[in-house]
Chains A and B, each alone.
Chain A
Amino acid sequence: MAEHYSSFEYKGTRWFLQRITAVFLIGVLAFHFMLLHFVNHAAEVTFLGTQARMQQVGYFGTMIAFLVTATFHGVNGVYNALVNQGLSGTRRSTVKWVLVVASGVLILQGVRTSLYMAGILS
């Protein structure tokens, strides 16, 4: 292969952030699956068990970082896929802001839910 193919402007900011978040997510997504399907089984999850995990500062911080990076990586990936398909002009701008708002709502709701899980809100 003599040419470089990518959905991204090579070595742009979004290209770089997509890869940095990918490296973080590789570890944390695997950890999340292991912990909640193999160490603790999903079918046996209770609020008290979730609260015990979320009251550990390191775990809480990891889950918030997981939420933010996964949202960015996913939504940025969707945006780049659509741009790659030829999305441009006003439609591109509209899609971008819809995705930005959706991301903000998801992160806010995820943080709010995490605070309830940790018992900080009730």
Chain B
Amino acid sequence: MSFVRFMAPKLLGAAITLLIALSLAFFLARAAGDPARNILGEFATEEQVLAKQIELGLDKPLPVQFVNYLGQLGSFDLGKSLRYSRPNWELIVGRFPSSIQLTVVAMLIATIVGLPLGVLAALKEGRIWDRVSVFVALFGQSIPLFWLGLMFILLFAVAWGWLPAGQSGTWQHLVLPAVTLSVLPMARIARLARSSLSEVLEETYITSARARGLRERTVVITHALRNAALPVVTIMGLQAGTLLSGAVTVEFVFAWPGLGTLATQAVQFRDFSLVQAIVIVGAVSFVLINLTVDLLYGIIDPRIREQGS
């Protein structure tokens, strides 16, 4: 019961966020000029454009279009791609597994490296691990991903020939894009884990835990880390959401057949219907990941769990 009370406001919030995202997707797709004209090109006649507008329902007033759009979404219809003449949903489903695969592997690398690095840095403040972690955090947050991706290709694919330069298929294809994509979340996770943990280590309940004669390992793992987890879980959720809803640059550099590449192509072909659908799928994944984070909050911290009641 308390669980329902805890999650109900979050679900409501998620629904509102989603509605706003859907509206933005709708209006932005129409803000970049007349879609019908964009599709047909500048040499189309007025009659052709009008015919296209009627075909796409663009001749109706904007509010009517919007209501139609929402109604369509309500029946889980994402529309049809203008370029491929296939349902957007099919195109997206075809690409989604690749995106998920890339996101999951990148987040795993980021967590496996970033988290221990941040924790070590907090435990050994001012020492060598601390320096290493600060360097990784700075490097990861400031380096442009397309450049890093190109450097990886130059070294590992072109110069040494250890790994394929692009496309997908085997696990070797996954290595370079996943590593490239993991750099930013790794930096964020390391930095946040460090600051959050070093803050928690100053708390009285940590001194108190030591005074109780608990082993240092218990103090760090069950007392400090769990208390430091909330901000880290938040950033992991945000990063995973961002990656999943389209790692455009990295997918493009490595010709990875994910949502990001599909989105790039859709924009190039002025396929506003497909762009809209991809934005919607991205928004939905983002909201779902954030709901999961909210759920984790409740599991980690009993105080948050009770806020609903």
A binds B: no
Residues in B lying within 8 Å of A, measured CB to CB: none
Residues in A lying within 8 Å of B, measured CB to CB: none
